[in-house]
Amino acid sequence: SIGAGPRTVRETAAGDNRYDIVFVGDWRSYGGPQKSMIEEIRALKAAGLRIAVCHLEAFRFMTKERTPNCVQIRQMIHERVVDEVLTSAEIEVGIVMLRYPPILQFNQHEQARWKVGRAMIVVNQAPHELDGSDMRYHVPDCVRNFRRIFGCHAVWAPQGPIVRKEIESLVPAGLLDPEDVVGIIDVSEWLSPRRELGDRPIIGRYSRDNALKFPAEASVLLQVYPDSPDIDVRIMGGLQSCAALLGEDGIPANWTMYAYDEVPLGDFLACIDFFVYFDNDEIVEAFGRSILEAMAGGCVVVLPHKFEEVFGEGALYAAPDEVEALFRRIHADPAHYAELCARTAEHVRRRFSHDSYASRIIPMLQARSA
């Protein structure tokens, strides 16, 4: 572990009150936004930066229960990898990094007592789905609320080109970052030697058990995860969604279903050959954390074409009716499969590594202090 115990907000305010970065987020859950921020913290901590976290809740997930911060960030605070600060603490901050814009839709009236150098809102989710449903936030409200709370404007940085298209006409002139802030991952912790291909291809996927994470039609679901005795399909996090599409008795015999997080993720990825991820056409995914994890885990990844701008040569792309022929052809050629696995790993190192993130953020701090 790092450090000798947690530092309290009071001790921080009374002593050294300067931080290079403060990561602001809703820290109760441990989903894509929290995983991404923790990876970014680790990348910047390795570069020698002083970092704190601040918890602001998204009213979208308001509850009567007192829900603690997720255990992962509590452990980092306990080990003094990061400090935890409140908006009432008198601190100086090089960069305020806020992920998940719905936090700003309905927010506290208290103004932060921070002296802020620069600020960035990482946009990991579009304001709503393509059909206008599930309205999450209104960009002008969030711009206004951020300035009121933190005393400055924030640059909006999309987490990928898909969500950029959804917000570029909504963000005020001069506040849209020209470069995306993509998710990152420590490849050394994920990549392990791939097992030899067996007699039949093993395809798998995992996600939260939500209807928008799966194709809208049963016919498409069965195209990308075929009902065939010579194919092994493993799905983690789809018990309810798949049953809703296929019926309780309609789950194919060659499918193995797991509850979300039922199997340790590294073990799950190690036992599949192909990670095939197709979701609802109406969902606007800014990035796709599970996809990056599957790439880092060494799987050959097959995606719909809409993800091509995000993941580039790290994956293969196909229409639903092309998926089965694609992975069957690759499975029949072990040398080609190994080549694709190596290409994916190299792409992750180059595009989604800790070093790539640090090389972007550190110059922002240096420019501020120059």
Distance, in Å, from the CA atom of 62 to the CA atom of 290, rounded to the nearest integer, reads 26
What is the pLDDT confidence band of residue 370, given thresholds at 50, 70 and 90?
low
State the average pLDDT over residues 168-174: 93
Is it the case that residue 221 has pLDDT exceeding 50? yes
Strands 155-158, 202-206: parallel, antiparallel or unpaired by DSSP?
Answer: unpaired
Residue 43: per-residue pLDDT: 93
Q: Are 212 and 241 in contact (CB under 8 A)?
A: no
State the average pLDDT over residues 242-257: 94
Q: What is the pLDDT of residues 196-216, one digit of tens each?
A: 899 999 999 999 899 989 999
State the average pLDDT over residues 239-253: 94
Strands 155-158, 316-317: parallel, antiparallel or unpaired by DSSP?
Answer: unpaired
State the average pLDDT over residues 290-317: 92
Is it the case that residue 368 has pLDDT exceeding 70? no
Element (H, E) at 275: strand 274-276
Residue 369: per-residue pLDDT: 59
State the average pLDDT over residues 225-235: 97
State the average pLDDT over residues 278-300: 85
More confident residue, 370 or 59: 59
Is it the case that residue 115 has pLDDT exceeding 60? yes
Residue 310: per-residue pLDDT: 86
Question: What value does the mean pLDDT of the chain take?
Answer: 89
State the average pLDDT over residues 104-119: 88
- Alpha helices (H) along the chain: 9-14, 32-46, 71-78, 139-150, 161-167, 187-190, 218-224, 239-246, 265-270, 289-296, 308-311, 323-331, 334-351, 354-369
Is it the case that residue 300 has pLDDT exceeding 70? yes
Is it the case that residue 13 has pLDDT exceeding 70? no
Is it the case that residue 184 has pLDDT exceeding 80? yes
Distance, in Å, from the CA atom of 349 to the CA atom of 112, rounded to the nearest integer, reads 37
The encoded tokens of residue 215 equal 């194709």
State the average pLDDT over residues 147-165: 91
Lowest mean pLDDT among 3-7, 333-337, 364-368: 3-7
State the average pLDDT over residues 302-320: 93
Residue 183: per-residue pLDDT: 85
Nearest to 171 by CA among 128, 127, 131: 127
Is it the case that residue 107 has pLDDT exceeding 60? yes
Residue 29: per-residue pLDDT: 87
Q: What is the pLDDT of residues 42-77, one digit of tens each?
A: 999 999 999 999 999 888 777 778 889 999 999 999
The encoded tokens of residue 87 equal 């908006």
